[in-house]
């Protein structure tokens, strides 16, 4: 992985909104939470080198975006995808607190998400990806729409 974490956001498109969540096993259990959903280019030294997006994958604005296609309980949470070099994509899921879930996966842009595999949780491979996720989250937090104030 290109470990250059000095990337910035370019052409940021904010799609933040309230999302409805549910627990399938518990009838009538649903709630709404504010989610920072977006699509953006990533730039290093003024040159666009990659992309990032956070979506559920079924929104109209997200239809053409590259997502992992994974089907499991995480699909109820937005998926965070990014590539710094346009070749290797990384995917994680928001755990509800702005972080990534337990699963981080990578796949080749050429082979598509069918080539996906879980990231080796060895320190050398995982740390740069986690640092990139953290950097991305910090940049998005600074520019994405904030939850509107509660109505009394």
| pLDDT digit string (tens) for the chain, length 152 residues | 555 678 999 999 999 998 877 666 666 677 788 889 999 999 988 899 999 999 887 788 888 886 665 544 434 567 788 988 888 888 877 555 555 555 677 877 777 655 667 666 666 777 888 888 889 989 999 999 999 988 77
pTM of the predicted model, to two decimals? 0.79
Helix (H, G, I), strand (E, B) or coil at 68: coil
Residue owning tokens 């096993």? 25
Residue owning tokens 């939850």? 147
Q: What is the phi/psi pair of residue 57, to 5°?
A: 100, -10
């Amino acid at each position: 992985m290109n470990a250059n974490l000095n990337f910035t956001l370019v052409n940021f498109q904010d799609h933040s909104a309230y999302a409805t969540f549910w627990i399938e096993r518990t009838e009538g259990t649903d709630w709404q939470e504010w989610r920072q959903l977006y699509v953006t280019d990533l730039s290093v030294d003024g040159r666009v080198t990659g992309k990032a997006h956070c979506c559920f994958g079924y929104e109209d604005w997200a239809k053409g975006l590259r997502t992992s296609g994974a089907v499991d309980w995480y699909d109820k949470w937005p998926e965070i995808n990014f590539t710094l070099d346009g070749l290797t994509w990384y995917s994680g899921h928001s755990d509800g607190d702005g972080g990534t879930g337990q699963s981080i996966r990578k796949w080749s842009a050429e082979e598509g998400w069918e080539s996906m595999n879980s990231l080796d949780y060895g320190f050398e491979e995982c740390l740069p990806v986690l640092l990139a996720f953290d950097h991305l989250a910090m940049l998005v937090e600074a520019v994405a729409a904030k939850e509107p104030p509660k109505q009394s």
